A and B are shown apart, each in its own frame.
Chain A
Amino acid sequence: MIKATQLSYIYPGQDHAAVNNISFTVNRGEIFGFLGPSGAGKSTTQKLLIRLLRGYQGHVSIDSKELRNLTQDYYNHIGVGFELPNHYPRLTALENLKFFASFYRNKTSNLMQLLEMVGLHQEADKPTSAFSKGMKMRLNFVRALVHNPEILFFDEPTSGLDPINARKVKNIILDLRARGKTIFLTTHNMHDAAELCDRVAFITQGKISLTDSPRNLKLQHGTRKLTLEYGNGQTISREFGLDKLGENPEFLNLIKNEYIQSIHSAEASLEEVFIKTTGERLV
């Protein structure tokens, strides 16, 4: 669906590349996460993919067509949720959606339903200047969906949201994937990435260091062991290797005869993998 080959970009007036010779593929119907700290080049990559920035080097193809050759019609097929709110403050939430919906040739979604999906239906007729940042972000998110696009780009979609609304947004993203949408997600939130993405790419200083599924990364960089906590009144902790665990008499005896408090496998977190492979922290 999206294929970038040796993609590079240097901002005008700069002497170093913000995106430096990166290659990746996003398959149809997958959620692809672009992870990295601030200034790593992930937003620049997204801006290139949505054609806010032009004049890149290398190749980017969307459905096998070179991005630089696409016309304005490209925007009928993609939806973009930016990291920062961008609404007309003196228009209501519904007016903002209506005007944007009218720019597309595709049949548009039911706007009140979209607002309801993110809990804004009761605020539909309020000007967005009266909205909190979280409300504006939710409106940002659903505006990307008004024209039912095939490809979606979300930049930090849960930024500024409380846990309940972040959950709503993540459920909608998962539902979009279930409906066959292709989603490009840029974030530095490793929990969101681990939960949502089919595959992730780590980017630091404009370069991709690793691409794989969160599950594979966590398993590959973890330790094949589990920690068992048991005991009645006190907590005793034991570690066991995962190999031939079902034949380990001590383990079998403990889970048969003791009061088990918890069992944890020791796969790495995505954040640990990131730090280990890139040498950088996510900030």
Chain B
Amino acid sequence: MDRFTSLLQLDFVLIIRNKILLVATVITSLYAGILQVLPEENFTMVVTTLIFTDPVMLGFLFVGVMVLFEKSGNTLQALSVSPVRPAEYLWSKATSLTLVALAAGLIMAVAGVGIRFHAGYLVSAIVSSSLLFIFIGFVGVSRVKTFNQYFIVIPLFMVPGFLPFLNYFGITETWLWYVIPTQAALTLFIAAFSESGTVAIHETIYAFIYLPLAIWLAFLWAQRSWYKIMER
């Protein structure tokens, strides 16, 4: 078994043993239940919003929980003197948690709209927003030592991420939110649940170029944070 596969296996075991999968199942069931009883009015908008928040929250919160467990157990220190590269560690976390988020997101989508969604857009939207927030979550958790401190940090990272919803809800109408990568993710979520299955071509191009770029930058930021943790 190669090193990345071993790491991935370790992360899945930790996700199960740390009861992260159980919590994700409970949250997803709760969301799925809410989607079942939603009123007709603004249904698509609410479905889009709920399914958007799921991978974002799962990614950001769960990477924080996993890393804080590792920090408190000093296992990050042990890993850092093994041949495991920081990039392998980060991508293993990102892959395992994104698979959990993807399963949760698809279950919620089916619970909300059946199979009346555009799978390509939805999978792209969930995967990209999950990866983005896992890497940003790692940056956030690298700066704290306890869960309490992490909960204080969360809004600092999350609030800017949700600003594009102001346009979506018709509260604002500004191009400024297009600088925020979550606008690109939101574009894909909207496309996934839209009637025609498409959004304007320039918006699609924007999303598919801007999101990978943002994920890559977030990954580099997370990788840099890894070395900062070791210096503390």
Tell me the A residues contacting B by CB distance below 8 Å: 11-12, 50-54, 72-73, 75-76, 78, 80, 82, 84-91, 95, 99-100, 102-105, 143
Contacts and interface: CB of A to CB of B under 8 A. Distances in A.
Tell me if A's interface is mostly helix, strand, loop or mixed.
loop
Interface in B1-38: 1, 3, 6-7, 9-10, 13-14, 17-18
B230 A50 contact: no
A95 B75 CA distance: 14
B80 A52 contact: yes
10 cross-chain pairs, A with B, having the tightest CB-CB distances, nearest first: A86-B74, A102-B6, A90-B17, A86-B78, A80-B81, A75-B83, A103-B82, A99-B10, A52-B230, A50-B81
Given A53-B231, A72-B85, A103-B6, A82 B77 contact: yes
B83 A72 contact: yes
B73 interface: yes
26 contacts: A12-B231, A50-B81, A51-B81, A52-B77, A53-B231, A54-B227, A72-B83, A72-B84, A75-B82, A78-B81, A82-B78, A86-B74, A86-B77, A86-B78, A88-B70, A88-B75, A89-B73, A91-B14, A95-B13, A99-B9, A99-B10, A103-B3, A103-B7, A103-B84, A104-B82, A104-B83
Given A11-B231, A90-B17, A99 B81 contact: no
Given A73-B83, A75-B81, A76-B83, A91 B3 contact: no
Counting chain B residues whose Cβ lies within 8 A of the other chain, the interface size class is: 20 to 34
Nearest to A128: B73
Contact of A87 (B3, B73, B84): B73
Given A72-B84, A75-B81, A102-B3, 12 more contacts: A52-B81, A54-B227, A78-B81, A86-B74, A87-B73, A87-B78, A90-B18, A91-B13, A102-B1, A103-B3, A103-B79, A104-B82
B2 to A, nearest CB: 9
Interface-centre pick from A50, A82, A88 (highest chain B CB count, 10 A): A88
